[in-house]
Structure 1
Amino acid sequence: MSSHHIVRDDQEPALIIANGAACSEELLGQLLEWSPFVVVLDSAIERVLSLGIKVDVLLGDFDREFNPSDYIEKHFPIDIIHTPDQNKTDLEKALDYLIEKGHQAVNIVWATGKRADHTLVNITTICNYKALLKIVIFDDYSKIFLLPNQFKKWYPKDTILSLIPIGTVTGIYSENLYYPLENHTLELGVKTGSSNHVAQDGLVSISHEKGNLLLIESWE
């Protein structure tokens, strides 16, 4: 298992590269290892191309001073998707695009760090897509995803796991966490399950009845 706990699924997830803080080349290389479909958001394109990454789609509102059509000539084949709708973020528009194209899963990098407001919006946005797309956000310190109502996964002892509710989450139960949850309710801003960890090597089970519950796997 890699240091970032990346597991290959039956269908290779697409990759969205946002415009937050860059991750390590090691992590990016792992996510690119199986040559996924790569979508880059707006003005992150120069940073991405400087790394020699093949980009399939450049998507955004292009509200800054650069001409996206230049990339059609310089980096063919690349699709330019202009999405001027200001009622959605570029990340939301990229997720909508992937759903329309039939993708079922996506990994996201460069979505955290830099501006705190962008980080919070990017993380909480995944709740709106829980019935449509399997979404995982990676950075150099964590893996973030929305839990189904029933979840089981094998972890080594002392793996840091944080349960973060988006709104209120009720009926939470756990097995093999150091701080067990027994019909707990978590509420953002009131009580969260931050910095729990795995009690023993083995399966961790987490279930909840209602609400949107994020799991953050962390490493240092």
Structure 2
Amino acid sequence: MKINILGGGPEEFIPDLQIYNDENSIWVGVDHGVFRLIHQGIKPDMAFGDFDSVNEDEWKLIEEKTDQINRYLPEKDETDMELALNWSIKQGPEAIRVFGATGGRADHFLANIQMLGKKENLHPSIEIEIIDIQNQVQIVPPGEYTLKEKSDSKYISFLPLTPEVEGLTLSGFKYELQDRNISLGSTLCISNELIQPSGTFSFSSGILMMIRSHD
């Protein structure tokens, strides 16, 4: 099972969702993202939000087309996206894909990135990524990972989310590394590329953000 979450970020940053719409997927709408799913012909299985960004007609359609709605007061401790992500992780899927979480307000975008890096959200058995029209973002804990070449996301960058990421090793890349420590703010690992059908990266401590992008 895979869970797809659509937030309310700018529509021009959202890829074609039909690519991800298969029988093994559950769709979760966040606030105005619920209406967007319906507008694209995708039935929301679950909805989260205070829905302060939808008008009366949109709300009526959401009530009519959505299986389960979790509506909250605007005054709450978590964002609508965090509530949706927390629920999704508890379902134990093999993957969670988040759309509509980039662009627009910088505070929301940065909060979404940092949210993926919370200790309780770093599940080795669940692949969680933020996807937009140009990027795929993952936050990973220490370990060894295999990446396959993707023609639509040639560039691969690694950025520390902790003061230090220790023992970073890259194999099968244009610019390889061996047991290097990378400090927060370093640009050493920006715009790398695979030179083989697959490659590996590993590190021993810290939290690492991986971004796969295309121009």
TM-score by length of 1: 0.81
Equivalent of 1:123 in 113, 120, 129: 113
Tell me by how many angstroms 1:71 deviates: 4.3
CA contact (8 A) 1:19 1:110 kept: yes
Higher mean alpha-carbon deviation, 78-87 vs 48-57, is at 78-87
Equivalent of 1:173 in 159, 169, 174: 169
| Letter paired with 1:189 | G
- After superposition, the Cα gap between the structure-2 partners of 1:118 and 1:156, relative to the gap in structure 1 and judged at 3 Å, is closer
- Counterpart CA distance in 2 for 1:212 and 1:46 is 34
Answering whether residue 129 of structure 2 is matched by residue 140 of structure 1, we say no
Tell me by how many angstroms 1:74 deviates: 2.3
- Counterpart CA distance in 1 for 2:170 and 2:154 is 15
- Counterpart CA distance in 1 for 2:15 and 2:67 is 25
- Counterpart CA distance in 1 for 2:8 and 2:59 is 19
CA contact (8 A) 1:162 1:216 kept: yes
Q: Deviations over 1:189-220 (max 9, x none)?
A: 2445111122x223211110111112111122
Q: Deviations over 1:3-59 (max 9, x none)?
A: xxxxxxxxx311100111226786311111335111110123333322222111110
Please name the residue that 1:92 is paired with: 82
| Letter paired with 2:181 | T
- Counterpart CA distance in 2 for 1:179 and 1:120 is 28
Answering whether residue 149 of structure 2 is matched by residue 160 of structure 1, we say no
Q: Deviations over 1:139-160 (max 9, x none)?
A: 1111111235101123269931
| Letter paired with 1:29 | Q
- Counterpart CA distance in 2 for 1:69 and 1:78 is 14
CA contact (8 A) 1:72 1:78 kept: no
- Counterpart CA distance in 1 for 2:26 and 2:8 is 17
Residue-pair matches, total: 207
CA contact (8 A) 1:42 1:62 kept: yes
Aligned-partner SS, 1:193? coil
- After superposition, the Cα gap between the structure-2 partners of 1:33 and 1:25, relative to the gap in structure 1 and judged at 3 Å, is farther
- Counterpart CA distance in 1 for 2:72 and 2:198 is 43
CA contact (8 A) 2:156 2:211 kept: yes
CA contact (8 A) 2:35 2:62 kept: no
| Structure 2 unmatched runs, 5+ | none
| Letter paired with 1:210 | S
Please name the residue that 1:196 is paired with: 192
TM-score by length of 2: 0.82
Identity of aligned residues (%): 26
Counterparts of 1:1-220 in structure 2 under 5 Å?
A: 12-22=1-11, 27-34=16-23, 36-63=25-52, 66=55, 70-71=60-61, 73-75=63-65, 77-84=66-73, 86-128=76-118, 129-131=121-123, 133-148=126-141, 149-155=143-149, 159-167=154-162, 168-198=164-194, 200-220=195-215
| Structure 1 unmatched runs, 5+ | 1-11
